[in-house]
């Protein structure tokens, strides 16, 4: 949930770290800090509550410099957001400085032990214990100390550690949280994510759990916990720096919404060659008697859509489980179960735990992941990659669309392999999938009318999303998108459920209902639901193929290009993303970094 970065090399570490933190701010933005081994033989540390801009202001008043440094952007877990609780943390002997992403579960016990030895703590964080413990163990060899510290810690961590006595050496270690090592001509980097180092290098090594990196100006060496050297060859990252920049858009979210036709095209193309093709061809549909999709947030919503598609096309039983529930429920799965883990980051703690639980029970695991080198990408038996490039906005858009399209493709392939579909039908549906990017473009060309409509909606107290069947599935995502960036109360309901309780929430003037109507045989039913809420005073936005909307003024209508209903979520979601975006933009909110959220949820 936090972002860490470190640099050792020929250049001044401070601007490199601050620039890198900007690319990691999506991971947390309660406070930020930077520490360098200063020229005076001490650590120079500047930490500041609030956004990175506040840290930058402090740094311009008190410039610091050094050839080795570490930086951090925080999403608070232990201790309120404050200057003191910000990272880097320095031990009380002022000898060792640490940045940490993760949670130390046994920090209370460790802290008590150290306090009994007279060590005074300055913050309320779990992370400070790492710096204090490292100083306590230190006897002239930082690598040795890091091994001892890592062996004493329980929980999750990605760490960057510097010691004043070894001022040319930056040490990193990780467990259950991501950490990459960047290598360049002028120096070496550690970072929570690739975009933080892309300006300087596209050569990265991925650290595995309990592996240690020792970085100096001259290069990177790797060790295991027994101090045995490991060999790692840097991989070349294909994302370019532009894909991690805003490119003239006001927000990353809008840029990423607009990128969707390309992302859909690239993802569809990806199954015709290379790794994705091999994975899809290797899956034997007949081997499985049950399919479980498990994920969190929007990725879970993609799973709910996929359930409707798989069940309709393959007549195969599909369960969709929140990963946070799946991991503890003692799931009924076997070696005949295919468990699909859907995750943009590939680092979501609950989804990783669900994957490990599924593997331990003998199920076959398939990851659908955006970040190459992430934990799910590495640990799932096979993995399909969404070809979306880096997604920076906390609210996912383009990766969600790429997840959907991969799941459609998989469902069509499974249906054909299971003999539930003729070759002709398979060709027909594949052509419909191939047509989605063009239809997405058509919707995006109508952006002005969606913007205009959204600007009239900022005053609603509640906005409900309703739909039936697959429209209900995608309504879940519409509602999540709206609430996470606009802070307007929102829920999604299956149309048929309204009369069982939710309709009592409809208030005259204060309620907008976004109704989805893409399911031909259920159109009459959803229109009855619309009538029911209209007669209780709600305003309605209807999205879908329903030209008979009528009642203008009460019911506004956004039509979609013609599309088979099973694939309609790919189009209606774009309308809902734009609607949410413009509602939030009209409220003047910080769209890319909504309050209390972080993009990558690497803690439980
Ligand atoms: O990286 P993941 O896809 O595993 O993340 C899962 C959720 O945290 C994520 O989809 C979250 O719900 C998004 N902020 C929604 O826009």
CA of 296 to the centre of ligand 1 (A): 6
Give the pLDDT confidence of 168-180 residue by residue, as tens digits. Answer: 999 999 998 889 9
Could you tell me the sign of the dihedral formed by the alpha carbons of 249, 599, 200, 96, in that order? positive
Ligand 1 atom with least separation from CA of 345? 1
553: pLDDT strictly greater than 70: no
Relative orientation angle of helices 398-417 and 569-586, to the nearest 10 degrees = 170
Ligand 1 atom nearest 348 alpha carbon:
4
Kindly report which listed range (40-54, 520-534, 539-553, 562-576) carries the lowest average pLDDT score. 539-553
Does the pLDDT of residue 548 top 90, yes or no?
no
Query: Are 42 and 94 a contacting pair, CB within 8 Å?
Result: yes
Predicted confidence at residue 29, as pLDDT, reads 81
Instruction: In whole angstroms, give the CA distance from residue 417 to residue 421.
Output: 8
* Ligand 1 atom closest to the CA of 351, numbered from 1: 4
Percentages helix, strand, coil for the chain, rounded to the nearest 5?
Answer: 40, 25, 35
CA of 359 to the centre of ligand 1 (A): 22
Taking each helix axis from N to C end, the angle separating 423-444 and 260-270, rounded to the nearest 10 degrees, works out to 160
Q: Predicted confidence band at 27 (pLDDT cuts at 50, 70, 90)?
A: confident
Task: Give the closest residue (by CA) to ligand 1 atom 11.
Answer: 297
Q: 194 to each of 95, 392, 401, how far by Cα in Å? A: 29, 12, 22
Residue with CA at minimum distance from ligand 1 atom 7? 297
396 Cα nearest atom in ligand 1: 16
Q: How sure is the predictor about 551, in pLDDT bands with cuts at 50, 70 and 90?
A: low
How many Å lie between the centroid of ligand 1 and the Cα of residue 396? Answer: 7
Closest approach atom of ligand 1 to CA 397: 16
Atom of ligand 1 nearest to the CA of 599: 14
pLDDT digits 0-9 by tens, 203-236: 999 999 999 999 999 999 999 999 999 999 999 9
- Residue 537: pLDDT band (50, 70, 90) is confident
Tens digits of per-residue pLDDT, 314-330?
Answer: 999 899 999 999 998 99
C-alpha of residue 98 to centroid of ligand 1, in Å? 28
What pTM value is reported for the model? 0.81
Q: How crowded is residue 522: how many other Cβ atoms within 10 Å of its Cβ?
A: 20
Atom 12 of ligand 1: nearest residue by CA position: 297
Given this model, what pLDDT does residue 498 score? Answer: 84
Supply 536's token pair: 């209780």
* Å from CA of 314 to ligand 1 middle: 27
Pocket test residue of 601, 602, 603, 604 for ligand 1, highest count of atoms within 8 A of CB = 601
In the reported structure, the alpha carbon of residue 299 is separated from the centroid of ligand 1 by a whole-number distance in angstroms of 6
> How many CB atoms lie under 10 A from the CB of residue 492?
23
Say if residue 262's pLDDT is above 60. yes
Closest residue by Cα to atom 16, ligand 1, is 395
Catalytic residue list contains 457: no
Least confident of 76-80, 89-93, 224-228, 381-385: 76-80
Mean pLDDT, the chain, rounded, equals 93
Please give the structure tokens belonging to residue 582: 């413009």
**In the numeric block, which tokens belong to residue 65?**
């410099």
How far is residue 395's CA from residue 419's CA, in Å, rounded to a whole number?
38
Task: State which of 327, 348, 594 you would mutate to test the pocket of ligand 1, scoring each by most atoms of that ligand within 8 A of its C-beta.
Answer: 348
Ligand 1: residue whose CA is nearest its atom 8: 297
Vertex 563 angle, CA 562 and 569, to 5°: 120
Distance CA 384, CA 505 (A): 41
pLDDT of 101 reads: 93
CA-CA distance, 87 to 101, in Å (whole number)? 10
Closest approach atom of ligand 1 to CA 344: 3
Provide the 10 A C-beta neighbour count for residue 332: 10
Q: Percentage of residues in the chain with pLDDT exceeding 90?
A: 79
Say how many Å lie between the CA of residue 387 and the centre of ligand 1.
Answer: 17
- Assign 576 a pLDDT band (cuts: 50, 70, 90): very high
Q: Residue 84: pLDDT above 70?
A: yes
- Active site annotation includes 599: yes
> Cα(312)–Cα(403) distance, rounded to whole angstroms?
18
Q: How far apart are CA 276 and CA 103, in angstroms?
A: 34
Instruction: Output the pLDDT for position 150.
Output: 97
* Phi, psi dihedral angles at 556 (to 5 degrees): -100, 155
- pLDDT(302) > 90: yes
pLDDT for 13 equals: 97
- Rounded CA separation 362/332 (Å): 11
Q: What is the pLDDT of residue 554?
A: 65
- With cut-offs at 50, 70 and 90, classify the pLDDT of residue 549: low
Q: What percent of the chain has pLDDT over 70?
A: 98
**Confidence grade of residue 506 (pLDDT, cut at 50, 70, 90):** confident
pLDDT at residue number 423: 95
pLDDT-derived band of residue 546, with 50, 70 and 90 as boundaries? Answer: low
Average pLDDT over residues 141-164: 96
Between the CA of 26 and the centroid of ligand 1 the distance, in Å, is 12
d(CA 217, CA 176): 27
What is the rounded distance in angstroms from the CA atom of residue 195 to the CA atom of residue 234?
A: 16
Take atom 4 of ligand 1 and give the residue whose Cα is closest: 343
The SS3 of residue 78 is coil
CA of 343 to the centre of ligand 1 (A): 7
Which one of 23, 47, 307, 599 is the catalytic residue?
599
- 2, 37, 163, 546: which is the annotated catalytic residue? 2
Q: Ligand 1, from 192, 302, 344, 485: best to mutate by most atoms within 8 Å of Cβ?
A: 344
Rounded average pLDDT over 573-577: 98
The pLDDT of residue 369 is 96
* Ligand 1 closest atom vs CA 298: 10
Pocket test for ligand 1, best of 253, 296, 354, 374 (most atoms within 8 A of CB): 296
Q: How far is CA 595 from CA 80, 147, 415, 599, in A?
A: 14, 36, 42, 11
Q: Which residues line ligand 1 (CB under 6 A)?
A: 296-299, 343-345, 348, 351, 394-396, 480, 484, 600-601
Q: 97-101, 312-316, 357-361, 547-551: lowest mean pLDDT where?
A: 547-551
Predicted confidence band at 547 (pLDDT cuts at 50, 70, 90)? Answer: low
Ligand 1 centre and the CA of 298: distance in Å?
5
Mutational pocket test of ligand 1: of 298, 492, 595, the residue with most ligand atoms within 8 Å of the beta carbon: 298
Residue 134 confidence (pLDDT) above 80:
yes
The Cα 174–Cα 163 span in angstroms is 18
Mean pLDDT on 225-249 = 85
pLDDT of amino acid 504: 82
Ligand 1 centroid distance, CA of 599 (Å)? 7
pLDDT at 57 over 70: yes
**What number of other Cβ atoms are within 10 A of residue 228's Cβ?**
8
């Amino acid at each position: 949930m936090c972002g860490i970065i470190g640099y050792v090399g020929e250049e001044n570490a401070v601007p490199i770290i601050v620039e890198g933190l900007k690319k990691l701010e999506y991971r947390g933005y309660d406070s930020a800090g930077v520490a360098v081994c200063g020229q005076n033989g001490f650590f120079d540390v500047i930490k500041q509550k609030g956004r990175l801009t506040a840290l930058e202001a402090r740094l311009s008043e008190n410039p610091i410099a050094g050839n080795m440094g570490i930086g951090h952007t925080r999403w608070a877990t232990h201790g309120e957001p404050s200057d003191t609780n910000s990272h880097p943390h320095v031990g009380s002997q002022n000898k060792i400085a640490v940045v940490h992403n993760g949670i130390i579960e046994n920090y209370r016990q460790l802290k008590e032990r150290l306090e009994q030895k007279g060590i005074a703590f300055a913050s309320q964080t779990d992370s400070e214990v790492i710096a204090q413990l490292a100083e306590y163990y230190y006897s002239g060899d930082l690598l040795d100390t890091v091994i001892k510290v890592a062996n004493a810690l329980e929980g999750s961590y990605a760490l960057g550690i510097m010691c004043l006595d070894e001022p040319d050496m930056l040490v990193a270690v990780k467990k259950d949280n991501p950490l990459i090592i960047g290598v360049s001509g002028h120096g070496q980097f550690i970072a929570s994510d690739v975009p933080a180092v892309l300006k300087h290098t596209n050569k990265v090594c991925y650290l595995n759990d309990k592996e240690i990196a020792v970085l100096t100006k001259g290069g990177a060496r790797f060790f295991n916990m027994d101090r045995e050297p490991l060999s790692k060859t840097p991989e070349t990252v294909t994302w370019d720096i532009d894909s991690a920049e805003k490119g003239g858009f006001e927000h990353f979210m809008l840029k990423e919404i607009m990128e969707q036709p390309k992302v859909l095209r690239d993802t569809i193309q990806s199954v015709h060659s290379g790794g994705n093709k091999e994975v899809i061809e290797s899956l034997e549909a007949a081997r499985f008697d049950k399919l479980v999709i498990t994920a969190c947030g929007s990725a879970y919503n993609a799973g709910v859509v996929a359930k409707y598609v798989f069940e309709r096309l393959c007549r195969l039983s599909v369960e969709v489980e929140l990963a946070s529930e799946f991991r503890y429920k003692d799931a009924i799965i076997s070696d005949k179960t295919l468990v699909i883990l859907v995750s943009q980051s590939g680092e979501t703690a609950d989804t990783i735990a669900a994957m490990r639980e599924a593997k331990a029970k003998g199920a076959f695991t398939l990851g659908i992941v955006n970040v190459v080198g992430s934990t799910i990408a590495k640990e799932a038996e096979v993995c399909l990659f969404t070809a979306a490039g880096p997604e920076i906005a906390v609210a996912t858009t383009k990766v969600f669309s790429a997840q959907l399209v991969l799941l459609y493709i998989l469902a069509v392939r499974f249906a054909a392999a299971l003999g539930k579909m003729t070759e002709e039908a398979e060709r027909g549906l594949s052509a419909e999938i191939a047509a989605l990017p063009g239809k997405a473009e058509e919707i995006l060309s109508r952006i002005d009318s969606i913007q205009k409509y959204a600007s009239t909606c900022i005053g609603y107290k509640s906005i409900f999303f309703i739909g039936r069947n697959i429209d209900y599935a995608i309504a879940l995502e519409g509602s999540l998108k709206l609430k996470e960036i606009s802070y307007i109360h929102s829920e999604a309901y299956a149309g048929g459920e309204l009369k069982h309780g939710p309709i009592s929430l409809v208030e005259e003037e204060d309620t907008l209902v976004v109704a989805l109507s893409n399911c031909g045989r259920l159109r009459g039913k959803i229109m009855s639901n619309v009538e029911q809420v209209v007669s209780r005073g709600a305003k309605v936005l209807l999205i879908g193929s329903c030209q008979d909307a009528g009642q203008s003024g009460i019911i506004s209508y956004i039509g979609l290009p013609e599309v088979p209903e099973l694939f309609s979520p790919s189009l209606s979601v774009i309308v809902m993303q734009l609607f949410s975006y413009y509602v939030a933009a009209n409220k003047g909110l910080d769209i890319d970094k909504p309050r209390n959220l972080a993009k990558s949820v690497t803690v439980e």
